[in-house]
Structure 1
Amino acid sequence: MLAVLKLHPQHLQAIRTHAESTYPEECCGLLLGKLAEDGKTVVEVMPTENRWNAEAVEVFQEIEGSAKLGSDKRDRYAIAPKDMLKVQKLGRDRQLDIIGIYHSHPDHPAIPSEFDRACAWSVYSYIIVSVQQGKAGDLRNWSLDDAHQFQPEEMIIVETT
């Protein structure tokens, strides 16, 4: 499958708006869409609550890149399993799949952290939006290569017809 993610301008705007609304904490959400030979197509952006807390710290403490985990949502996010299942079921009912995850980096670049990499799944696209001083800026898309390293993944903005 080609490493390309197709989405509409309103999808990007929804991500940026969500990121600004949660600043200075990280936002997170899921991308519902379709997988095809020519890439992944976003149909809907599904915001979720950032469930990062002390319990998440315990669950993730063994993961590479988690040396200084704290329960601060300013530099971590977690999507609750029940939220993933809810969106997965909603997608299945509409013949859609979860094709990616998005999150924000408050006052940091839109570049994945080592922790982001360690937690990532190879089939997903990962959109990261940098939020500087409360304003969404640089937005980049990433996917994992065969060596489980993030590489830039092309985004194609499709205008609504």
Structure 2
Amino acid sequence: MLRIHYSDYETLRAHGEETYPNECCGVLLGKSVAGEGNHVQQIIRAGNTRTDSAHNRYHIAPQELVKIQRQARGLGLDIVGFYHSHPDHPAQWSKTDFAEAHWLGCSYIITSVEKGKAVVTNSFLLSGTGEEDKNFKDEAIQIDIATDAAGTGVHNQKGQA
């Protein structure tokens, strides 16, 4: 399961709306908790460096990714996933998304943005032991909603926003 704060969830969805009709992309920082999944504590927007087909592909420059990884380490966090949008396309991974996914154990969030509006957000966990047996597994999203001093609210979401 992927656990994320409501504000971060809404921010990554808004990022997809802002970059429409091109894909947005970014990195999820947090911790992987045994038996519980990836807990996102911060999201970092990244620039989509694709110039040939930014409307249906994304790429994060290696230098930017290294900078984000250093930033994460400085905060005591890890890269636990990535996010991107699919303008006018379902929130499902494509063959290209799969081929370019290499971070085993990471969550890959995809938001479908239809006519400029974020509609569906799904997450997929990249599993396996290496490139030869990697696979995407559907991953439930738990959205944490902060409430008052009486406690915290939690909203479980799977596939719909």
Paired residue for 1:96? Answer: 77
Distance 1:114 1:24 in 2: 20
Segment of structure 1 superposing worse, 148-157 or 40-49: 148-157
> When you count strand as a share of all residues, which structure comes out higher?
2
- Normalising by structure 1, what TM-score? 0.84
SS of equivalent to 1:29: strand
- Map 1:4-153 → 2, pairs under 5 A: 4-37=1-34, 38-53=36-51, 71-121=52-102, 122-146=104-128, 147-153=133-139
Letter matched to residue 74 of structure 1: H
- Normalising by structure 2, what TM-score? 0.84
Report the count of equivalent residues. Answer: 141
Runs of 4+ in 1 over 6 A off after TM superposition: none
Gaps of 5+ in 1: 54-70
RMSD value, Cα? 1.0
For each residue in 1:14-36, what CA deviation from the matched residue of structure 2 results, as whole angstroms up to 9, or x when unmatched? Answer: 01110000000000000011112
Gaps of 5+ in 2: 147-151, 153-161
Post-superposition shift, 1:124? 1.1
Paired residue for 1:65? Answer: none
Give % identity: 41
Which has the bigger relative contact order, CA under 8 A and spacing at least 6?
Answer: 1
